[in-house]
Structure 1
Amino acid sequence: MKKREVHASVKDEKLVRMRRNQMIKGAVNLFKEKGFHRTTTREIAKSAGFSIGTLYEYIRTKDDVLYLVCDFIYDEVKERLQKDLEMNKGTLESLKLTIAYFFQVMDDMQDEVLVMYQEAKSLSKDALPYVLKKEIEMVRMFEQVIARCVKNGELSISEHQIHLAAHNIFVQGQMWGFRRWALQRIYTLEEYIELQTELLLNGLSLNPALKTST
């Protein structure tokens, strides 16, 4: 599925990226506070630091802003994760480190994650499938990490179980953002990472030889 094109009247690609990044940051704060539907484009422009006229040089509709916000969040998470996953060695220890790193990224971007979950339903029909596809692509990154552990004999689970385990990791990381009103009253980030990692790995079937050795 092709990336949705957001039209801009400005032709300077560097300037378009800069202005849209300003727009995204301003919109995230507003969407978190007021929601997508109650936020106006004039408010987004003001929060971004430029006029409503300037705003419409880089987008056509408010829907474009929501799409750009969701697209940015997924791209940012994927880029940061990719650097970590490239170093993954297919061991349980490296899987733990990957989970911890992902949860830390979710902590860094918890406002963005919250907005995405609250407002993704408001995406247009042509934008929503593309954004959801990007989420599935990120889940596949965790599938690859778990599959390496299986290949190395560190885990003994089926391909079907690998898919579900990857989704579990992804959702548990995001939960730190959209359930923070409850979780952060009880746990520090470090405690949350430790407990969730323990629960996630205990839900996977360790190689019998490894069980005996531990």
Structure 2
Amino acid sequence: MKKKQVPSMVKDQRLVKKRRDQIVKAAVQLFNQKGYHKTTTREVAQQSGFSIGTLYEYIGSKEDILYLVCDSVYDEVVENWAQLRDENLHGLDRLKQVIEAYFRVVHDLQDEVLVMYQETKSLSGEALNYVLEKELKMKAMFEKELQKGIDEGYLHLSKEEMELACHNILVAGHMWTFRRWVIQREYTIDQYCELQLRQLLEGFKIDTNVQTNLG
């Protein structure tokens, strides 16, 4: 997975990081309000606190801004997720905590996550492939945790079931932001974590006797 090289006229890497962090923060706010395509680079520069000329000292194009946003958000999600995970837990308790930590990171970064998933499609070529590879790396982290459960004997999943379970976990996290206009009116993040974990790990509770009688 090769990282895209975003051009910069500035050689001081500490300054580059500082300015790009400002650009990302400003872009997330504007992309949430207006969308990527309706936001201009001049607006991003103004929101960042410097001129359009200064902006172009740190990027080469508008798409570079979106790439920096997606790259930065993925890194922040993974870093914060790692900080929330309790490495002292084992077995099913660990699996539950890993999933819950992911949901809580999405909650903390919901504006950034929403922009990332809504606007990734506007990237092209190398940048798009890089970002999609990062998504697969997140899926692989859940695969690793589920495989531990299989190896320890408390999970029983085929390869196909495990793959789908990883997608379900990722999408359950996304839903907290994509459908927040209704989900967050109905549930707190604590309730959401509890109920999602129950459904993901236990499924629906079905009374087979009732089902047979209805059939």
TM-score by length of 1: 0.91
Moved over 4 A (4+): 83-86
Which segments of 5 or more consecutive residues in structure 2 lack a partner in the other structure? 205-215
SS of match in other structure, 2:185: coil
Distance 2:131 2:9 in 1: 24
| Contact 1:90–1:152 (Cα < 8 Å) also in 2 | no
How far has the Cα of 1:88 moved from its partner?
6.5
1:48 aligns with 2:43: no
Matches within 5 A, 1:20-35: 20-35=20-35
How far has the Cα of 1:84 moved from its partner?
4.9
Which segments of 5 or more consecutive residues in structure 1 lack a partner in the other structure? 205-214
- 1:104 equivalent in structure 2: 104
- 1:3 equivalent in structure 2: 3
Matches within 5 A, 1:173-188: 173-188=173-188
Matches within 5 A, 1:140-151: 140-151=140-151
Matches within 5 A, 1:1-214: 1-84=1-84, 87=87, 89-203=89-203
- 1:210 equivalent in structure 2: none
> Alignment identity in percent?
54
Amino acid at match of 2:6: V
| Contact 2:86–2:94 (Cα < 8 Å) also in 1 | no
Distance 2:72 2:165 in 1: 25
Describe the shift of the 1:5–1:88 C-alpha distance in structure 2 as closer, same or farther (beyond 3 A): farther
How far has the Cα of 1:158 moved from its partner?
1.7
| Contact 1:88–1:145 (Cα < 8 Å) also in 2 | no
- 1:207 equivalent in structure 2: none
Count of residues paired in the alignment: 204
**RMSD over aligned Cα, in angstroms?**
1.6
How far has the Cα of 1:101 moved from its partner?
0.7
SS of match in other structure, 1:185: helix
Which string of whole-angstrom CA distances, capped at 9 and with x for unpartnered residues, describes residues 127-170 of structure 1? Answer: 11110110000110011111111111111112222121111111
